[in-house]
Amino acid sequence: MTVNVNEVIVMTANGTQKCLGEYKGQVLLIVNVASRCGFTKQYAGLQDLQNTYGSKGFQVLGFPCNDFGAQEPGTITEIQTFCSGTYQATFTLFDKIHAKGKTTEPYTTLNQAEPSGDVEWNFEKFLIGKEGNVLERFKSAIEPNSVEIKTAIEKALKN
């Protein structure tokens, strides 16, 4: 089943609604992030991807999530300050979401992507193509700077 995010409405960090369809034509990496997780160091790799591919039509979209071990307890302002101060992260962070159980968008839609099911932990990644279709799903342990993710981004940018 093809999963498309163009109609998905999410909440921005400042509390306004945004349709992911506004990103049509760009390649996206959507990630549920947390500031107190063993994978938190992946913020640096996510920012590296943004720096490397951003000018080519690529965006990292981070969605803070406190569903896994209560590892993102802060407010959105605290999270933004942590990310920019600790990792010099400039990619877009959205409002906090739920990625499992009673999910909130974009995860109500993303969790339908194969292999379908709830996100299993922080820093699970979904690669979205230029037309808004989910192309790949990467588990938390797959580092942002892995050959697997970079190859998939480069392929998506060429299509």
Catalytic residue set: 37
Q: How many other β-carbons are positioned within 10 Å of the β-carbon of residue 63? A: 25
Instruction: Evaluate whether 83 touches 116 at the Cβ level (below 8 Å).
Output: no
* Beta-bridge partner residues of 90: none
Q: Shortest CA distance to 63 belongs to which of 102, 6, 13? A: 13
**What span, in angstroms and rounded, lies between the C-alpha atoms of 7 and 21?**
6
Q: Angle CA(44)–CA(16)–CA(35) in degrees, nearest 5?
A: 25
**What span, in angstroms and rounded, lies between the C-alpha atoms of 47 and 83?**
10
**Residue spans of alpha helices (H) in the chain:** 42-53, 76-87, 107-110, 147-158
* Beta-bridge partner residues of 58: 27
